[in-house]
Each structure stands twice: as C-alpha cells, then as structure tokens.
Structure 1
C-alpha cells in the first residue's frame, strides 16, 4: 500500500501553450482561479509534497507548491517534465497530472494508488485510450528515463510500454479528461460549469 508520505504530486505546466496563443496555459484564469490550480486541488492533502513543473512565470507558480524547471533548457515536452519530477521528488512515487484538465475526479489519487497493482507505472484509461500525462510512476525509474531521453525518445507512451504499465479505468467519469488547449475550449467549459447542475 502506497501511503501519502510515499507520494509526491506534480502538475505539468511547462508547455509552450502554442494553441493558447503562446500564453502560459497553467496561469490562464479559469472559474476564478489559475487553470493549473484546479488540477493541483485534486492532489491537495493527499501527497507528501506538491511540485509544479514550469518553465516561466516561476514566482506565480511558487505560491502553490515547489516549482521545478526542466533539467534541460527549452521546451522539450512532457516527458522531460516527468523526468525532472522523478529527479526532484523525495518519495518513492510520483503522481503526475496535466495543468489543463480541471475535471479530473476528486478521488483521482485513490484510484491511481489502487490501480498500480504491483507495476512500476500506472496510467489513466478512459475506456478507449490512455491519458499518459495522468500517471503514477516509481521514481527509481529516473535513470532509465534519462537514458531514453538521451537516445532521443520524446513519446511518453513508448517509454511507458517498456515497463508494462497498469491501466487505471476511469471510464465512469466521461468528462474527466476534458482538456483546455485553446481559448475557445476554456470559454466553452467555463460556460458549462456555470450552467445548471447536470449540464455536463
């Protein structure tokens, strides 16, 4: 059983935000909070420490947790962010979530911990496809991931497959992985959240 003290949480907020006009997506206002704060809240009180993977506006993020930057300068994608988190974590396990999925279930941590089932990686599954940026990863895999990155690997799923990941079924929450890539996505979801209950 993985305890809270054995688990670090991390919000991935280090992307370029290209489809958001190059803005820092994690800091985009959404329903009264910066967007990343909604996913951070899903981990609050359930992890030993909260990390935020960011590559700009570090002071703004530092109000919510310990900010880490990519081990290599520049925007190298989420796999580099995951590697940096594995290196920075002081616990045996790292739970990763993206900054742009505010509808993740409130019991996400419990689901991921229950779904690891002896594997080194557990990844969320919506019944049709996996969501690689929602994952529980053993931090001892940092050296293996470093070697993969050195070889040029940048696809998360390919690296996961080397370690026979467990799939955590979250298909009962159909909206859980709604992600906000554009301003239009953000406006649409905000309108849905403000609509009468049951509109989602």
Structure 2
C-alpha cells in the first residue's frame, strides 16, 4: 500500500512562461494568491508532513517566501518539466514523489490517492492522470468525451532518478517518451462528481483569467 507518509510533493514552476510573455507563471495571481501557493495548499494534505517543495528557476526569494524548499532544475538550459521532476526525485527522501504543474490549480484533492491506487493495481513505477477533454459549447456530442492524458500530474517511484538523469543527459526531453520506458499506469478522472475543470491549465494570462472566472 502507498500511504501519505510514503509521498513527497512537488509543484513544478520552473518553466520560462513563453506563452505568458516570459512572466513567471507560478507567481501569477489566482484568486488573489500566486498560482504556486494555491497548488501547494491543495497538495499539502496529499503528501507526508513537511514533504512539500517547489521547482523554480527564477525569483527564488519569492518562492522561498512560500515556506517550502525551492529546487532549481538539476540540469541547465531549461530542459522542461522532467528536470524539475528529477530535482524532486533527488530531494524527496520518500518512496514516491507526487508532481503537479503550477498552472493547473484545480487538480483533484484526491489526486495522490487515485494515482497510488492505479500504481498499486498495475504494479507500476509511474501513474499519470487522464480526464475527459473539455467539450466546446453547443449541442451535446454523442458518446463520452475522449480522454486526454496529463503526464505532469503524476506519481513516480523515487528509485527512477538515475534512469531519468541518464535520459536527460542523453538529450531526452519528452515526458511521455521517458515514462513509456517504465511500467506506467493511468488513473482516469471521469467519475460522477469529478470536477470537469480539474486538469484545465492556463498557458496564457487570458486562459488564467477565464479559469478563475469559470471556477469562481
């Protein structure tokens, strides 16, 4: 069984914010607080006490003010979310790491539990989230909405750090490409009552403002 005491949490906020005009995405306000702070609060009950961190590469003093360890990328050159995940795996000191992106502030409060269930059921080293695609306005479509995977909302065995380091050192950058090298499980968030906005992310300021309005 994977329990809360087995899990450390990390909020990934180390991106360059290119679609936000270079703004530091994790520091943009959502409901009056930085996105990273909102994500940390949502993640806290899902991880072992004192086992939260944030991955960041800029404005480190502002992230440090959130009261958790700030982890820089384990590799230079902004190689993407896998570098933040690697930093988390190297830091965590627990059997498992639960990672979430800072720009998805409504992720489920039971994300860790359901990823853990999926990992245990499949005997997997990694579990990722999947949820129905957002359905555009208009007449209802026939049949269920297609599922979209959200690999950066994931639970990983800490023992994968050496393999991930080797993948990154070899120039690999694609999240699902690396994850596909390991036993991978998927937790599907399509139960009645699951929040349809849970995995909606904000890549631009307009998307962030719409998400805030739609989830008020």
What TM-score comes out, normalization by structure 1 length? 0.92
In structure 1, the partner of 2:63 is 61
Gaps of 5+ in 2: 133-146
Does structure 1 retain, via aligned residues, the 8 Å contact 2:46–2:109? no
Distance 1:159 1:152 in 2: 11
2:87 alignment partner, SS class = helix
Alpha-carbon distance between aligned partners in 2 of 1:161 and 1:96, rounded to the nearest angstrom = 17
Deviations 1:118-164 (A, max 9, x none): 21100101141210100000010001111111221100101111112
Deviation at 1:63, TM superposition (A): 2.6
Give, in whole Å, the separation in 2 of the partners of 1:147 and 1:22. Answer: 29
* Cα distance in structure 1, aligned partners of 2:183 and 2:171: 21
Match of 2:172 in 1: 153
Tell me the SS of whatever aligns to 1:116: helix
Could you say what secondary structure the match of 2:103 adopts? coil
Conserved in 2, the CA contact under 8 Å of 1:125 and 1:168? yes
Q: What's 2:142 paired with? A: none
Q: In the alignment, is the contact (CA less than 8 A) between 2:125 and 2:184 conserved in 1?
A: yes
Alignment of 1:103-182 (within 5 A): 103-117=106-120, 118-127=123-132, 128-172=147-191, 173=194, 174-182=196-204
CA contact (8 A) 1:9 1:96 kept: yes
Stretches of structure 1 that go unaligned for 5 or more consecutive residues are 195-200
Paired residue total: 194
Question: CA contact under 8 A between 1:123 and 1:136: conserved in structure 2?
Answer: yes
* Superimposed CA distance per residue, residues 45-102 of structure 1 (whole angstroms, 9 cap, x where no aligned partner): 3312001000011111123311100112231100111111111111111000000011
| Cα drift, residue 30 of structure 1 | 1.0
Q: Equivalents in 2 of 1:181, 1:20: separation in Å? A: 7
Structure 2 length as normaliser, TM-score? 0.86
Give the match's secondary structure for 1:45: helix
For 1:6 and 1:180, the matched residues in 2 are separated by 30
The aligned residue for residue 27 of structure 1 is: 27
Q: What is the root-mean-square deviation in Å for CA atoms of aligned residues?
A: 1.3
1:18 corresponds in structure 2 to 18
The CA distance in 2 between the partners of 1:46 and 1:171, in whole Å, is 20
Conservation of the 8 A alpha-carbon contact between 2:86 and 2:164: yes
